[in-house]
A and B are shown apart, each in its own frame.
Chain A
Amino acid sequence: MADEKKSSGLTRREFIKNGSFAVGGLIGGGLIGGMLFNTSSDTATSGGDHDHGNGSNDYMEARLFFKRQEDFRVLSSAVERIFPEDEVGPGAIALSVPYFIDRQLAGSWGFNAREYMDGPFEEGEDTQGTQSALLRRDAFLQGVRLIQKEAKASHDGENYFDLTEEQQDAILEKFEAGDVDMNGMSSSQFFSLLRVATLRGVYSDPVYGGNKNMDGWRMKKYPGGQMAYMDIIEDEEFHDMEPISLHEHHN
């Protein structure tokens, strides 16, 4: 299984045109689910091409949530330590994770919109899950400011983002261990929130502003939202494909 095959992915339109791709020789709209073929964007002419450039996406690289640049710089340095650039591939900053998190915090995720947020709030046992009244957006502001405060306190007033990688890691480890006092959640809870947000930014569909150019996916050889795998599902050899995002599918 060491051999790898390079295949290219198919968008919905290509998939529909090339009916034999996935249905094992059974060609025709009647044979696989009908809805897919009837949606109006079949006739759309735009999009579909892979855009690996830095074109239009860059307009989205601006802050919606973080007002203070300092907070954003701390956030950026911290997520880069969680997912650093190295020989494996790009890190959180190159993948635009800080902007991803900024946009997430500006929206429903930042407001914990689909979670039960009625009181009374009691601490509870670990088995009962989070009981924090703190919204994620407030947790992030408090958290990054505490990271900065820790940096300044332990390194003669230096900014977190100016410290060495080892110094930055040491501060994050302190958060991870729950050794920093936070109001409304523990620092270890905040750290795991930061870690999860980072991974979401690395690997979610680029429509959310992270995983820039799908390079997070490429690093993991993840092919994104392919139409179908009927033709390779039984194969022994590993297939490495060019990824496909929602942008390609929806245009």
Chain B
Amino acid sequence: MAIELPKKQAVIVGVGWAGGIVAAELAKAGIEVLGLERGADRTPADFIMQKDEMKYALDHDLMQDLSKETVSFRNDKDMTALPMRQTGSFVLGTDLGGAGIHWNGQAPRFFPYDFEIRTHTIDRYGEDKIEEGITLQDWGITYDELEPYYTKWEKTAGISGEQNDMTPWMSEEYPTPPMKETPAIRLFKDAASDLGLHPHQRPSANLSENYTNPDGKTIYQCQFCSFCERFGCDYQAKSDPLITVIPTAVDTGNFEIKTHANVREVEHEDGKAVGVYYIDGNDGQQYYQPADMVILTTYVLNNTRLMLQSGIGQPYDPETEEGVVGKHYCYQIMSGAQGMFEDKQFNLYAGAGALGGGVEDYNGDNFDHSDLDFIHGGVLSLNQTGIRPIETNPVPPDTKSWGSEFKKASTHYFYRTLSIGSQGASMPYRYNYLDLDPTYTDENGDPLLRMTYNFTDQDRKLAAHQAERSEEIMKQMGADIVTQTNQATGDYNIVPYQTTHNTGGTIMGASSETSVVNNYSQVWDCENLFVVGASTFTHNGGNNPTPTVGALAYRAAEGMLEYFENPGILVEDED
């Protein structure tokens, strides 16, 4: 039994960056919006003087409580999927503001190549370049079409950055100048330049100066406090939804937020969404919230799970390759190089989540792949995010992992170790997908999302290439001990942290045959339902996802407003 509530014009499920952007745009246009967020309320006051590595960085205080809900995982269909019992490979956001609170703030765009990857790859290298089983698709939107929305998001967030010959073209400069360089970053950039590469200061949502955005919200100057990745900011200096889009929406008087509202299902009739069911964590009751429009912004995993649970769209079947929901789950392939310097100590306790130097020379199709047996690449960067003592214990290869030998080495090398990392792009693979688990359930008894995922040969070759390039730069930097790092030498393992750049499941495309949503993030099969976020990425690029999430969210909001005026499918189906 559900308690029925008065109808709303729009209900947004999940209030992070994606939900916040949509809320702000709809509320500003006078639409009455309700945000349902499963987690708790949060304000910037929750982040003051919380410099506690164990609580936040290791025990994930700001993140999803897995005792309530997790995913199950297997590498392939011959394995039984088992629950991810402890947080590992990725860390999921929860509470008001979502992962946008504890993100790093690295804010690069994807490349024009990404959006037309299939067409471009075939044009330049021929169809044979695409390995068997790699189900490459264009996105149904070009970079040039999306460009204004990137600009819009960057202005909302006040991004600090700079461009060069290797970064994607921009119609306007970044709103604020690039962040400061540290000696470690300078060393990286000088070495990269020596090797003929094109280093730049990474675009950052930790701001280089105070900035007031077009909605009148101020973001302050970053103090390099280093409790940034996995933490909220003390200074409101890291752009996040709580200091930008959420208050922008609330200030209009048109946005109401309910926290502890865990949505289980979208109710739909005759190809239209009519409302959502949620459990209120305060009283444990189930409620039914009717609405004219439903927007899912619950991140990649729950966007896909809610679609499957609600029975909207055809679930993907890897055997027949029919169906679309759950298809193209992608990740990122992390590799790089570590360097130890005997005679140098860097002030590595200092930093910021998005403070870094990068090179885009080995990303996208910025380099010739004719003689390489993979496509795409990834950004190589040296980030100074601020190291902390429990998690950071670098020791040379073959050092014992405990005892006096370990203690000596890990304290000695603590400030003498630098890393270069590549965020390797992740191509869709026929057998990597998401569906509902047949056995394990969440706290409400609903099936967990089941992830079937492994690295492919394409991934392993890409990762090896990026590790070699990173090693070259690290050697040029003059490190005494250089070792390659690579998460993708064997099977994907859900235990070690890699990245929270999951994508896919409700992908975007030009045709309802091959995708779940069109380029307004509108569900082909349910026209007043929009699914927004990285779940709509058709593959994952070689860079951080949030600017692309932000751009797609701004475009989606435009589509929603258009829909309120003229209901119907907003883009012609190329089916």
Contacts and interface: CB of A to CB of B under 8 A. Distances in A.
A227 interface: yes
B532 to A, nearest CB: 27
Interface stretch (B20-28, B148-156, B345-353, B421-429): B345-353
Given A129-B86, A129-B494, A226-B225, A221 B350 contact: no
Chain B facing A: main interface SS = loop
A40 to B, nearest CB: 11
Given A31-B220, A117-B85, A235 B48 contact: no
Contact of A39 (B45, B85, B346, B408): B45
A36 B53 contact: no
Interface residues of A, number: 75
Contacts of A203: 53, 388-390
A246 interface: yes
B566 interface: no
B66 A225 contact: no
A122 B440 CA distance: 12
Interface string B40-77: 00001101110111100011100001110010011100
B176 to A, nearest CB: 14
A127 B75 contact: yes
Chain A facing B: main interface SS = loop
A238 B224 contact: no
B393 interface: yes
A114 to B, nearest CB: 5
B221 A23 contact: yes
A81 interface: yes
B251 interface: no
Interface string A3-39: 0100000001000000000110010000111111001
Contacts of B349: 222-223, 226, 229
A233 B184 CA distance: 10
B183 A235 contact: yes
A1 B225 CA distance: 22
Given A23-B221, A115-B67, A228-B225, A84 B51 contact: no
Contacts of A217: 389
A110 interface: no
B224 A230 contact: yes
B411 interface: yes
Interface string A139-165: 000000000000000000000000000
Contact of A199 (B44, B220, B344, B390): B390
A26 B210 CA distance: 11
A114 B389 contact: no
Nearest to B223: A228
A22 B234 contact: no
Contacts of A120: 439
Nearest to A208: B54
A125 interface: yes
Contact of B224 (A12, A125, A233): A233
Interface of A: 1-2, 4, 12, 22-23, 26, 31-36, 39, 81-84, 86, 88-89, 109, 113-118, 120, 122, 124-132, 169, 172, 195, 198-200, 202-205, 207-208, 216-217, 219-230, 232-236, 238-239, 246, 249-250
30 contacts: A1-B343, A22-B223, A33-B234, A33-B235, A33-B236, A33-B237, A34-B220, A83-B402, A86-B408, A113-B67, A114-B59, A115-B86, A116-B66, A116-B86, A117-B67, A117-B85, A118-B441, A127-B73, A127-B491, A128-B74, A130-B85, A169-B403, A204-B390, A217-B389, A223-B349, A225-B52, A232-B350, A234-B180, A246-B49, A249-B49
Given A39-B49, A84-B403, A202-B390, 16 more contacts: A1-B346, A23-B223, A26-B221, A31-B220, A33-B236, A35-B47, A117-B85, A125-B75, A169-B403, A207-B52, A221-B415, A225-B227, A226-B225, A230-B224, A235-B183, A235-B347
